[in-house]
Each structure stands twice: as structure tokens, then as C-alpha cells.
Amino acid sequence: MAGALVDVKPTPILKEELDIVIPTIRNLDFLEMWRPFFEPYHLIIVQDGDPSRTIKVPDGFDYELYNRNDINRILGPKASCISFKDSACRCFGYLVSKKKYIFTIDDDCFVAKDPSGKEINALEQHIKNLLNPSTPLFFNTLYDPYREGADFVRGYPFSLREGVPTAVSHGLWLNIPDYDAPTQLAKPLERNTRFVDAVLTIPKGTLFPMCGMNLAFNRELIGPAMYFGLMGDGQPIGRYDDMWAGWCMKVICDHLGYGVKTGLPYIWHSKASNPFVNLKKEYNGIFWQEELIPFFQSAVLTKECTTVQQCYIELSKLVKAKLGKIDPYFLKLADAMVTWVEAWDELNGKVDVDQQ
């Protein structure tokens, strides 16, 4: 019932309502391949590393570009919450966007093909995922019930078939899979060739590893929770930026009743990062995540938290109280979480003024 109605209509492209955020340190030649799909949209490019370098953007794209000097100028002392020399800097783009939706993609990701050989419009699939509801309260064995040719199966409670608003759409990667350094080292030749034609809702109460390579979200619903943490330059950890955001975001979505989808669309991830460099970045995270997962699995937000900002501040307090003992880094991170929300509210205006 649901599927047919949704899919026979063309997917709205939301040209005026979506920004594409790209963190980079190099010329954006990769955009050439995306031109047919991305050209109608506005790009927010977050230049990492040396701000004196010039990043070339192919002609015809509409963009704004921020380097470290811009970030420092715009945020002042609050710029301390934005990572440097790590793709975590991308969340600055979420902060300065004025749009309802964000799609973020890495500059080593190209257009993938489906099994029929057709080029996949990743952004269109993300938009479909975000505009259709999620079903976190009960698992549907035919996956996304709102897709064409699918529905809720026998035994699915009718009261749950409206679903809940979708906050996040997590896309996947063909070719180079998103492995950690130990797995990269152990399986240097592994490539992901399996095209799984599914979109599904991550159930309520379940955590997952959110990868920032190919990710879209509803900024109005969940933006202030999409903070990518303190990583890279001056920090004892890297490559956990998207994971951190994913765990915080999922706890808050579960609390507020929003959905998170994973699966389609695929992009083509072109090159594996260096596993030795990655191991150095990930080293602490490999130990710490063993304590972070139980922490997030048991994190409970109080009923009084009714906005993303309130949830995020409460989570930062839990981080300080419960994770500080792992390493002083988490005390600093908890403070940065607060700074991030302050910066968000400063640039975006408070949405919960009546509750202050």
C-alpha cells in the first residue's frame, strides 16, 4: 500500500533544501563524475590542512569554501570544537548550512553502478530514504516496507505501519570496504563486490558503526547531534569521528522517536587509506570502543530532554561523568560537545527558546 504510492511519483530533488558537504585537502576533480547528479545543488567545501593552499573546484558548481582561517574567524574561541587535520572538520559544514537536509561525501568516492550497469544516483536514493518513514520499533523481514514492490509482512502490527520520521540515511560502499586498520592489514586485497538491494531501519536500541563517507541526514531533525568530535591534530585519536557522531545520534534518535536507515545507496570507494597510518590513528579507539559501546548501550536520557540540543547537553554530562575515567581526553571531548551546541545555537538561533 505504502510503497506503490511513494515510488510512482518522481523523487523531489530538494534543490533548494539540501547542501552537499565535502571535507577535502585536494582539488575536487572527483566532482566531474558526479556532475549530472550534484550540479543542481549548493556545495559546502570544508578545506582541511594548510589554509594557504588553493583548492580547485571544477567549473559550473555552486559552492562556498571554508578553510581553517574562515573557521577561526567565524567561530572565534568556539573554533576549538572543530577538528583540524581530520575529516571530522566536515561538521563545520553542517553548522553553517541553512538547509533542511545535508548530504556529505568523501572526495575519494565515485559513482557506483548497479548490477544492471546503470550509474547510481546516490543522492536521489538518500532523498528517498529521508522522505520515507522509518520502522525502528519492529523489524520487517522484506526490509523497507515503503519501497516499490514491498510492504509490511503478515504479523506486522498495524499501529506501527505509519512509521516514524527518518533522521539519517547511511549509504554503503562498493570496492574498498570501510574496514579498520587491523582488518585492512589482515585482508589487504578484500573488495566489496556484493550489491545488496536493500534499505532497512536500524532497530531502536541497536547501535551501529556509522561511516561518514556517504551519509545524509535531516539537519532540522538531528543536526545538533551530528558533531564529529575532537580528532586528528593535537588529539590522541582519529578515524572515530563518524563513529562518535553515530553513537550519540542513535541514542538521541531512539530517545526522540526518529529513525535511522542503512543500505542503499552505494558509492564506489576508490582507494584504501594506508593501514599503518590508520592503525596509529585508531590505536586508542580500538581499546576505548570496548567501553564506549556499553556506555552508549546503557545511556538513558531523561524525559525532560525534548530537543536535540537538550539531549546532546545531557549526553555530554554523561560522557564527562562516566567516560572521564577512561582518559582525560573524554573530559575535553565532553566540553567540546557543549561548545559545539553553543556554536550551533549561535549560528542557527535557538529552536527551543520557550524552554530556556
Q: For binding to its own copies (CB under 8 A), which residues are involved?
A: 1, 4, 115, 138-143, 147, 149-160, 170, 172, 177-180, 182-183, 186-187, 190-198, 202-211, 239-240, 242-243, 246, 262, 282, 286, 289-290, 293
Residue nearer to its own copies on the CB measure, 87 or 348: 87
Whose CA is closest to 58, among 37, 39, 76?
39
Residue nearer to its own copies on the CB measure, 2 or 57: 2
The span from the CA of 354 to the CA of 317, in Å, is: 22
Q: Are 92 and 67 in contact (CB under 8 A)?
A: no
Residue with cell 530556556: 356
Minimum CB distance to its own copies, residue 294 (Å): 9
- Three-state secondary-structure class, residue 248: helix
Residue nearer to its own copies on the CB measure, 71 or 202: 202
Residue nearer to its own copies on the CB measure, 102 or 272: 272
Residue nearer to its own copies on the CB measure, 79 or 200: 200
What's the Rg (C-alpha) of the chain?
20
Q: Are 48 and 25 in contact (CB under 8 A)?
A: yes
The span from the CA of 233 to the CA of 49, in Å, is: 10
Residue nearer to its own copies on the CB measure, 211 or 256: 211
Nearest-10 crossing angle of helices 122-131, 31-38 = 50
Q: Which DSSP helix (H) or strand (E) runs through 125?
A: helix 122-131
Q: Which DSSP helix (H) or strand (E) runs through 174?
A: strand 166-175
Tell me the H-state helices in 273-328. 275-298, 308-323
Residue nearer to its own copies on the CB measure, 44 or 176: 176
Residue nearer to its own copies on the CB measure, 35 or 113: 113
- Three-state secondary-structure class, residue 309: helix
- Three-state secondary-structure class, residue 120: coil
- Three-state secondary-structure class, residue 193: coil
Q: Are 218 and 150 in contact (CB under 8 A)?
A: no
Minimum CB distance to its own copies, residue 153 (Å): 5
Give me the numbers of helices (H) and strands (E) for the chain, helices first please: 11, 9
